[in-house]
Chains A and B, each alone.
Chain A
Amino acid sequence: MPGSRILRVLVALFLAAIAAGWWLTRPLTIAPDDLPDHEPDPLAGERIFWAGGCASCHASPVDGKRATGDDKLLLGGGMELDTAFGVFRVPNISSHREDGIGAWTLVDFVNAMQHGVSPDGLHYYPSFPYTSYARMPVADVMDLKAFLDSLPPVAGRVASHSLRFPWSLRRGVGAWKRKYLDVAPIVPAGSSELVERGRRLVEGAGHCGECHTPRDRFGGLIHDRWLAGAKNPEGEGRVPNITPGGKSISGWSAADIAYYLESGFTPEFDTVGGSMVAVQENLSQLDGEDREAIAAYLKALPAID
């Protein structure tokens, strides 16, 4: 009968579509042999830790407030990010073997940081900004793991995210990654070694674009508006445009930008505010040359209104 034949074809097409979808959304990882020949260096990793601002999300809040001083090194997680997709809960990344990531191998860590895949083979949500970390040199990620291993273990597991449907379907992140996970530089290779160093920090570990670049309706960064300012993801107002075409810092010299990142003071001697306070404090821990590199990169960006 033609009717049952059409039905059979439709069922077959439907199953094929599911299979294709399943295949397209599968977690993609690297194997231990794919790691570069590099001896992880915890001291170099500390630089990446501050550049990346890991503590800003992963340090356990103290009495409901963000951790300061040495408490920034206690990475038990627990902070909540209340977003349009639901509540994301920041996990424990301390060296605790059961509750943290102390038992992870180096390749587990690289897969999490740069491929957004957990050791169990599940996708991470991009609230963990691996789309930025994917642009880091792999050796830097390996160094960071060595530094995290040197920090104290913190007991306690954090509850999982509470997301709204359809965002609660974790497998769907695989499709999102197909579109948004890319290791190519966002701004073409720098004109100088300093700009290039800045590019690695800003586009990679520093993940500056996650707040300073607007997102499309699927939550992916709009590269045409790279660092040109965005809605504040944590509340009212806007995160400023930091390209040479913006109003906020286009009048600043590279030295002004570097000094701001070091001291928290603008050229008018106002102080850093909002979410940037924690970022500035982290960046103040870097070598001066890293802050100069960030400033040089920002000055070399295409100007966007």
Chain B
Amino acid sequence: MSNMKSRSLLVVIALAFTSPLVAGNDPVHERHELMEGVGDAAKPIGQMLKGERNFDAGVVMTSLRTFDDASAKFGGLFPPGSETGEGTEAAPAIWEDRAGFEQALATWADAVDAAIAAQPQTLEATKPVAGEIFKACKGCHDNYRIEDE
């Protein structure tokens, strides 16, 4: 019995060590794709705010869920060794100032949580909560992203 237990413990430990490696096989690519998805999700909300598209509470909520999912995963996609490659726009500051980066990500996640909790049903109600999210995007990009142009 105890042998079984220690064996399953070993399996758990082994998984704990290998799974990040498997998940983070190509973190540069993964985080790029994730951020592309965030941009795609932000676009319809932005178009509503600009008056280029009719307000749709369902579309807003779908976008917010995309943000929520991405903000939970994003911080884990910057392991040591993924500083360069594939034209990454990740700034060295992510690794030099990890605490600041985590803080910026938390600001983003908090703004998304607040927006989801608010369940905005009108354009007027979406404006302030989306504004906080967009501010978080900018805030993080200003300090932790380099310009590729």
Contacts and interface: CB of A to CB of B under 8 A. Distances in A.
User: Are A and B co-members of a single complex?
Assistant: yes
What's the dominant secondary structure at chain B's contact region? Answer: helix
A273 B134 contact: no
Given A259-B50, A270-B39, A265 B149 contact: no
B103 to A, nearest CB: 16
Contacts of A259: 46, 50
A268 B50 contact: no
A277 interface: yes
A266 to B, nearest CB: 9
Contact of B138 (A237, A240, A255, A264): A264
Interface string B31-55: 0000000011011001000101000
Interface size class of B (residues with CB under 8 A): 10 to 19
B61 interface: no
A255 B39 contact: no
B29 interface: no
B46 A265 contact: yes
Which of A267, A269, A272, A277 has most chain B Cβ within 10 Å?
A: A269
A2 interface: no
A277 B39 contact: no
Contact of B134 (A238, A263, A267, A277): A263
B142 interface: yes
Contact of B142 (A237, A255, A269, A277): A277
A267 B149 CA distance: 17
A270 B145 CA distance: 12
B137 A237 contact: no
A271 interface: yes
A274 interface: yes
A55 to B, nearest CB: 16
A268 B43 contact: yes
B65 interface: no
Of the four ranges (under 10, 10 to 19, 20 to 34, 35 or more), the interface on chain A belongs to 10 to 19
Nearest to A238: B149
Contact of A271 (B43, B50, B52, B138): B138
A263 B45 CA distance: 13
Contacts of A277: 138, 142
A264 B39 CA distance: 14
A255 B137 CA distance: 21
A274 B147 contact: yes
A302 B39 CA distance: 31
Interface string A267-287: 111111110010000000000
A267 B47 CA distance: 8
B71 to A, nearest CB: 16
B147 to A, nearest CB: 4
Interface string B107-127: 000000000000000000000
Given A263-B134, A264-B138, A269 B46 contact: yes
A269 B39 contact: yes
A269 B43 contact: yes
Nearest to A237: B149
B138 to A, nearest CB: 5
A252 B52 CA distance: 13
Given A237-B147, A255-B50, A271-B137, 6 more contacts: A240-B149, A269-B39, A269-B43, A271-B138, A277-B138, A277-B142
Interface of B: 39-40, 42-43, 46, 50, 52, 134, 137-138, 141-142, 145, 147-149
Interface of A: 237-238, 240, 255, 259, 263-265, 267-274, 277
